[in-house]
Structure 1
Amino acid sequence: MNKRQNKHPNKRYQKTAPSAGGQPIARQFTVVEPVELLPFLLAKLSGEGRNSVKSILARGQVSVGGKAVTAYNYPLEPGDTVTVQKEKAAEQAPFAGMSILHEDDDIIVILKDAGLLSISSGKGQDNEVTAYRQLMAHVRARDPRNRIFVVHRLDRDTSGVMMFAKSEQIQQALQNGWQEAVKERTYVALVEGQVKKTEGTVSSWLKESSTLKMYSSRYPNDGQHAVTHYRALQSGNGFSLLEIHLETGRKNQIRVHMEDIGHPIVGDKKYGSKSKVIGRLGLHARILAFVHPAKQTEMRFETDIPKSFWKPFRLGD
C-alpha cells in the first residue's frame, strides 16, 4: 500500500458500521475494489502498526462474510464485508450434550447425547437447553441474521447423528426429498430378551393415542405405514443388541416396533421396558448418509456404538 492510499483510505473503501457508544465491539467495512486482506486492514486500521494488524489477523479477530480469515493475502472482492473484532472473541462456551460433526454453508451435522432435547418441548420453558437453541446461538455469534432450521428430530433420550439446515430453502429441499436424499439411517438398539430370529422386518400402520403414545393399528391402511429392518449383533444374559435400518421414519417407530415383537428397548418404560440396566434409553442413531442438498455429493457420518450398550453382555464376567 503506498503513502497516498494510506493517507486517503476512504477513497478506496467504504465504512459500513459506525461505532456504537464510541468504542465499538466490532468495526465493519465494505470492500469497493479488489484488494488483498492485509493491505486492506493496514489502510482501514491506520492507528495500528503493521505487526499489530498481523497479530489481529493471527488471533482470528478478522472475518470476511462472517467467516474467520487469517491469511494475509486473502483476496477481497467488491461487496465483501470485513469485520474486525475490537478484542479476540471469547471462546464459545462448550456445547451442552452435543458436538458438531460437520458444518458448511448449508447444513450442520451434530452428535446428540441422550437427555438433550432436539427442539423445545413446547411447554413454555424459555430456559430449556436444546440442540436447536445452542446451534442458533452458534451461527448468530458470527452474524445476528443467521438462523438454523429443523430437518428431522431425535427423541430426547435417543443419542446419535442428526442434521439441521442453515436456510429455509435447504430445509425444504431436504424434507421434500427426504426418501431420495437419505441413503442410510442406521440405529443400534439394546433390547430386552434374546431375539429368536437373527434378522427380521417389522411392518405396521402407526397411530397416536390421546395420551400421545404411538401404537400399531390392528387394521391395514389405518395410520402411517412404518417399516423397520433389524439384525442381531449380539445376544446373551437376557438382552440383545440390534442393528436397525429404517425404511420409513415415523415418530417413535423403532420403539413401537421393538415392543411389538416382544423386545422393548432397554429403559423405555413408555413402551414396555422393565430394565434400567444402562441408566438411559438403549437407542442410538449410529449412521446417517445422505446426498448434500446443494453440492449433490454423498456424505456419510458414522459414530461408535455407546460403550454402555455392551454392559449387559459383560455381566457376570
Structure 2
Amino acid sequence: MEKQNSPSNQLNETITITEENELLKFIITHFPHKKRPILKSILSGGQIKVNNQPTTQFNHPLKKGDEVTVNWNKPAKKVKLSHLNIIFEDEYLIVIEKAEGLLSVASLKEKKKTAIQILKDHMEKVDSKVKVHVVHRLEREVSGILIFAKTSEVQQKLQESWETYITDRKYMGVVEGKVKKEEDTLKNYLMSNKNNQVFVVDSPEGATETITHFKVVKQSNAFSMLEFTLESGFKNQIRVQMQHYGHPITGDKKYKARKNPLGRVALHASMIEMIHPVTGKKLKFELVAPANFRNLVAKG
C-alpha cells in the first residue's frame, strides 16, 4: 500500500488500496495504533473520502486502485441556520437536518419561514448564482433529513426516478403503548380527502398501497421507540398506519394520539441512502433520533 505522511505530520492522509476490502475493516487494520471508537467516530463524522467522495458507510466496498483519504483534523461543524443544519453539500445537492415545526416549502399561510426559503436566503449570501430546488418534503411536524437540488436537471432526475436513486429510507418514532410484536410489516391502502386528511380504506380503488416495516428499538409499558423502513411514499404514511395499528405516534393529535409529552410529533427522518444522480456514487446520510425520544421511553 502506498502511504503518505503519518497523521502526526499532516492533517490529510491518502492510501491507495491494493486489494478488495470493506472501509471500516480496512482502516482498523491499517491504523492499528488508533482506537476503534476514534476510527468509527472519524468515519461517521464524514472525515473519510473514497476517491474524493465522502462516505459514512462502514461497509463501503473498496476495490484495488481506490484512494482512501482520512482527515485527522476535527470534523467541520454543520452549517447552522435558523431551524435547520446543512449536513452535506456539493455542486448538485444540499442535504439538511430540518427541525420539527418548520415547513419544507411555502403554503398559503406561510411563505418566508420555510426550509427552502431559509436555504435560498443563505445561498444568496454565499453564491447568488446557485438556485435551490425542492426534491421532496417532510411534514411540518416531522424532523430529520431533507434533500434539495441545486439545478433543475438534478431536481427532475430525482423526482421522476425517486425509487431508482433513493435506495433506503428510515425513520425513528415513539408510539403510544407497548407494541406486542418485535417487528412487523404494515400494508394498507391510503387515500386523502380535500381537507388533507389521510385515512385507511379497504378497497384499492382510487387508493395507494403503502408498505412500512418496523422493529422495536426500546420500549416500556407506556411507550415504544420504533425504527421504520419505508417501501412506499405517501403523505402522513407512518402516522396513519400506526394509528390504524392501534399505536399512534405520540404527540400526533391529528391522528388520535392521547398524549403529547414532548410537545411535538415524535417522528424523525433518520436515514437516507441514495445513488448520487450525477456522479453515481453511493451516499448515506444518518442522524440519531432526538435524545428525548429515548429518554421518554426510559421514563415510561
Contact 1:237 1:315 in 2 (8 A): no
Paired amino acid for 2:268: H
Structure 2 distance, partners of 1:244, 1:139, is 33
- Alignment partner, residue 114 of structure 1: 100
Structure 1 distance, partners of 2:283, 2:154, is 15
Q: Which moved more, 1:205-214 or 1:246-255?
A: 205-214
- Alignment partner, residue 269 of structure 1: 253
- Alignment partner, residue 105 of structure 1: 91
What is the TM-score of this pair, normalised by structure 1? 0.67
Structure 1 distance, partners of 2:126, 2:84, is 19
- Alignment partner, residue 74 of structure 2: none
| CA apart distance, 1:244 | 0.1
SS in structure 2 of the partner of residue 136 of structure 1: helix
Structure 1 distance, partners of 2:156, 2:285, is 21
CA deviations over 1:143-194 (Å, ceiling 9, x no partner)? 4342111101001110001100011100010111111111110001100011
Pick aligned residue for 1:165 from 149, 159, 170: 149
Structure 1 distance, partners of 2:133, 2:93, is 9
Structure 2 distance, partners of 1:211, 1:137, is 31
Structure 1 distance, partners of 2:108, 2:232, is 25
Gaps of 5+ in 2: 1-78
| CA apart distance, 1:94 | 5.1
- Alignment partner, residue 15 of structure 1: none
Contact 2:219 2:298 in 1 (8 A): no
Contact 2:143 2:267 in 1 (8 A): yes
Is it true that 1:202 corresponds to 2:186 in the alignment?
yes
Q: Which protein has the larger Cα radius of gyration, Structure 1 or Structure 2?
A: 1
Give the root-mean-square deviation of aligned CA atoms: 1.5
- Alignment partner, residue 178 of structure 1: 162
* 1:54-203 aligned within 5 A: 95-123=81-109, 125-126=110-111, 128-203=112-187
Paired amino acid for 2:94: I
Structure 2 distance, partners of 1:94, 1:178, is 27
CA deviations over 1:53-104 (Å, ceiling 9, x no partner)? xxxxxxxxxxxxxxxxxxxxxxxxxxxxxxxxxxxxxxxx951110000111
- Alignment partner, residue 240 of structure 1: 224
Structure 2 distance, partners of 1:102, 1:315, is 34
Is it true that 1:290 corresponds to 2:274 in the alignment?
yes
Contact 1:232 1:243 in 2 (8 A): yes
| CA apart distance, 1:209 | 1.9
Structure 1 distance, partners of 2:256, 2:240, is 9
Contact 1:267 1:276 in 2 (8 A): yes
Structure 2 distance, partners of 1:231, 1:143, is 43
Contact 1:237 1:312 in 2 (8 A): no
- Alignment partner, residue 263 of structure 2: 279
Paired amino acid for 1:116: L
Structure 1 distance, partners of 2:86, 2:80, is 11
Pick aligned residue for 1:226 from 187, 210, 213: 210
| CA apart distance, 1:138 | 1.8
Contact 2:80 2:86 in 1 (8 A): no
Q: 4+ runs of 1 displaced by more than 6 Å?
A: none
Contact 1:194 1:238 in 2 (8 A): yes
Gaps of 5+ in 1: 1-92
Paired amino acid for 1:109: V
Paired amino acid for 1:191: V
